[in-house]
Copies of this chain bind each other. A is one copy, B any other.
Amino acid sequence: MRDVAIIGVGVTKFGELWDKSFRNLISEAGAKAIIDSGISGKEIDALYVGSMSAGRFVGQEHVGALVADCSGFSHMHIPSIRVESACASGGLAVRQGYFSVASGMNDVVVVGGVEKMTDVIGSEATDTLATGLDQEWEAFFGATLPGIYAMIATKHMHDYGTTREQLAQVAVKNHANGALNPYAQFKRPISIESVLNAPFAAYPLGMLDCSPVSDGAATVILCAAEKAKDYTSKPVKIIGSGQASDTLALHGRKDICTFESTVHAANMAYKHAKIEPKNIDVAEVHDCFTIAEILAIEDLGFVKKGDGGKAIESKITTLDGEKPVNTSGGLKAKGHPVGATGVAQIAEIVMQLRGDADQRQVKDANIGLAHNVGASGASSVVHILEAI
């Protein structure tokens, strides 16, 4: 297996983008990434696309072929592979694209992630997101993602003394970061009080503890590392990749406050990269709800299990803290077009490691981590990147 580098990234603005269709979004992100990388279309060997549920959100399956077509590659008859792992679809697409280059099968691949979630009515977005849960044992009986994460939060509060204020601080931090990100859905700082006083989505999670429903796309270009310098002076190498699964339903797990899929995917990635959690300079983690960021920093080994709430309170994960987390604003403030999220996380880490993150730039960032979770943790994908 040879080394693989990221030579270009492109993201669209995330938000309620009434004037942009599914295909507009992915073409825009793709074009930006291709321009950023300096490659020509002819050099592309394959496309990988992450999308959770284009079939339900916009009535379109055959997503790989669609993306090849609307990106102008149909005359090349290029192979295009759509992968799905609920909200971890983007991370999984990066991982599959990574392996296709690492194995020598492809030299240059484009990996896109996209979701158009706002063209639905009533509870359809919530219902479609709940297809990432166990349909027969959870969703059918009315469980939704906010409800499932609320149970996890309640148990975490019970077991470890985590408080609603600590949860709120995740949202406050991520909104502060999002305010510095031109592509973020929410570009406004919020206060602890506004989070605590927001209407409940599902106790103890209020509206401002939840990531929004979003449209958006992100793309990264992968290339054999030995050729990366031909295209860019600032390539970023993928030094670790991990993926793991867990029971689909929460009730099958030993401990609902630990995502074993994250623990296993992270260990796989750390081992691959030959580093430890302490070596990570900056991380994008899957904060679909505030409690999810607390689980993530514990399960990724940044802090001990149970200490996540206290870690947030002590500000170690802020932009100028010792372990900045979700510098982009995270899913919470940047927005969460589910299939795009995992790719956008990688794009943010690349921007940080290239020193291109402007007002949200972390100082001396050399190694970064991206952590993408499917629904309530039945799948996780972790990547570790390094500036070369």
Contacts and interface: CB of A to CB of B under 8 A. Distances in A.
B135 A374 contact: no
Interface stretch (A9-17, A181-189, A213-221, A243-251): A243-251
B86 A61 contact: yes
User: Copy number of this protein in the oligomer?
Assistant: 2
A65 interface: yes
B379 A62 contact: yes
Given A77-B261, A131-B55, A135-B60, A68 B103 contact: no
Which size bracket describes the interface of A in this complex? 35 or more
Nearest to A58: B135
Interface stretch (A30-38, A92-100, A172-180): A92-100
A287 B139 CA distance: 36
A61 B92 CA distance: 14
Contacts of A92: 64, 81
Interface string A95-127: 010011011110000000000000000000000
A70 B63 CA distance: 26
11 contacts: A21-B136, A55-B128, A61-B131, A61-B132, A62-B86, A62-B374, A63-B84, A64-B84, A65-B246, A69-B245, A99-B99
Given A55-B128, A99-B99, A103-B103, 13 more contacts: A53-B55, A59-B139, A61-B131, A61-B132, A62-B375, A64-B92, A64-B379, A65-B245, A65-B246, A74-B245, A74-B252, A81-B83, A103-B104
